[in-house]
Amino acid sequence: MLWLTYGSFYFCRNNLGVALPGIQAEFGYTKSQLGTVLMVLKLAYGAGQFVNGQLAEFGSPRKLLAVGLLASAALNVVFGWSTALYFLTFVWACNGYVQALGWPPTMRAVANWFPALQRGRAIGIIGTGYQLCGALTFVVAGWAAEKFGWRGALYVPALLVAASAVHLLVFLEDTPGAADRAGSGPAATPALAPPVKSWRESIAVTLSNPALWLVALALCLLDACRYGFTDWGVTHLKEVRNDSVSVAAFKYAVLPFGGIAGAYLSGWATDRFCGGRRVPVICGLLIALGLLGLAYDHVLHWGLGASTVILFLIGFCIFGPQVLLVGTLPVDLARRGTAAAAAGFVNFMGYMGAAAGDKLTGHIAQDYGWQFAVRFWAACAFASALAVAFLWNAGRKPPGATCSGSSARFRSV
């Protein structure tokens, strides 16, 4: 249920990238202006992570998820009715905030339903859901845009998201029965370090950790590259390759499938080959991502098969390090039991990078051309590798130690 519910949010988040070419053609907005629209969702989403994380501690996950889905669907419809740039920007910012009602309540529901030693697997399965739904968003929105115009890329996903909200209200429960819950939930998770005593202390401990700032900077740069591809990729293909919106969207549907493979295999590789050290795998994938970015414009002209392969590889090299940077590595580096705060801070910084990347991509593509915009994405990947390389030995385990310690910490978040 949570796999489908959280994945459904992506239908009303990633779909704007498919609608952008039609919006630009009808209203004549520049790429820089549209970059601002894309940027505000990330800013509002990042801020919403803080606010809605607190709401999820006290409110019903089921109701918060339903509110988020229904509000996002409604805002997508309102966006399709709108024409003025400032109003479009405002509506999409509101959509970013309500989209942030997805992840914190989902994590609260996971904590309610799964004991600590099962949560890592549960979160991994939920992760495949949003990757798959991200891919399906390109397919559904691309078909709808081709059939009904750019507004169809907003209206059809909104219908699917509204249906998902009804589905979860009927079938999802906040918690299992009391007997089933014995031993599960946050209270049953053993503390691995003396917990901080207040939210002020938690913030101070988190922000005073220099290693987390390096991780946050690396994710900030990676997300600028990531959302360059996912938000602007369809527009890029349409203008550079003269693909139709539906064809470009179908090509980009491959990228999240590469992400699924990268997310699974990267974590396994850090334990299997690096003794729990995350950074060597992260750096290797980020350097590969930068090289793929530099080759991207050339490979696109080699045909459909080559385009599909490179997009799959780009997805692999984006989401492999992204999962490690946003979850596993912050938890490894967190101090005094502040793993959740550490991951939240790093994720917030990632979305600030995504917002800036959207704006800069629009500006660069508008004023200097797509070739320079794609090189900007590649440069972000290389810079991200450089930032995190300073933590090369982070997460190293003593000789003979297994990976169970770090895994348990991650599953307890």
3-state SS record for 151-190: CHHHHHHHHHHHHHHHHHHHHCCCCCCHHHHCCCCHHHCC
Quick check: 262 and 318 in contact, CB under 8 A?
A: yes
C-alpha–C-alpha distance, residues 199 and 196, integer Å: 8
CA–CA distance, 109 with 301 (Å, rounded to integer): 46
Instruction: Tell which wins on pLDDT, 377 or 301.
Output: 377
Q: Is the pLDDT of residue 405 over 50?
A: no
Do 406 and 412 touch, CB atoms closer than 8 A?
Answer: no
pLDDT at 380 over 90: yes
Residues 6+ apart with CB under 8 A from 2: 106, 109, 110, 122, 126, 129, 172
Higher pLDDT, 46 or 332: 46
What pLDDT is recorded for position 180?
A: 46
At residue 106, the pLDDT reads 77
pLDDT at residue 411 tops 50: no
- Measure Cα distances from 56 to 67, 104, 370 in Å: 12, 6, 41
**Which positions ≥6 away from 198 have C-beta within 8 Å?**
none
Q: pLDDT tens across 173-211, in order?
A: 877 763 344 444 444 444 444 555 566 777 787 788 899
| Encoded tokens for 108 | 């609260």
- 194-197: Cβ within 8 A, 24+ apart: 194/336, 194/337, 195/336, 195/337, 196/336, 196/337, 196/338
Whole-angstrom Cα distance, residue 278 to residue 266? 9
Task: Answer with the residue of higher pLDDT: 214 or 170.
Answer: 214
CA dihedral (109, 113, 114, 120) in degrees, to 10, reads: -30
Contact present, 279 and 389 (Cβ < 8 Å): yes
Q: What percent of the chain is predicted at pLDDT more than 70?
A: 80
Q: Sketch out the chain's domains with CATH numbers.
A: 1-177 (1.20.1250.20), 200-400 (1.20.1250.20)
pLDDT class of 393 with cuts at 50, 70, 90: confident
Is 312's pLDDT higher than 90?
A: yes
Instruction: Give the model's pLDDT for residue 35.
Output: 84
pLDDT of residue 117: 47
Across the chain, mean pLDDT equals 81
Q: Which of 102, 84, 127, 95 is nearest to 9 (CA)?
A: 102
**pLDDT by residue (tens digit) across 330-367?**
767 777 655 556 767 888 888 889 888 988 998 999 89
The single-letter code of the amino acid at 171 is F
Q: What are phi and psi of 243, to 5 degrees?
A: -70, 155
> What token pair was written down for 24?
């630009």
Q: What was the pLDDT predicted at 32?
A: 83
Q: Which of 38-52, 106-120, 307-321 has the lowest mean pLDDT?
A: 106-120
Highest mean pLDDT among 10-24, 52-66, 231-245: 10-24
Q: What is the pLDDT of residues 120-177, one digit of tens each?
A: 455 556 767 777 888 888 889 999 998 999 999 999 999 999 999 999 888 878 777 6
What pLDDT was estimated at residue 88? 94
Q: Is the pLDDT of residue 304 over 90?
A: no
Burial class (CB in 10 A: 0-12, 13-18, 19+), 210: exposed
pLDDT for 316 equals: 93
Report the pLDDT averaged over residues 313-319: 94
Burial of 41: CB neighbours in 10 Å, binned 0-12, 13-18, 19+: buried
Rounded Cα–Cα distance for residues 97 and 325 (Å): 23
Q: Which residue has the tokens 């629209």?
A: 37
Residue 265 binned pLDDT confidence (cut-offs 50, 70, 90): confident
Tokens 């996002």 locate to: 72
Residue with tokens 């800013």: 43
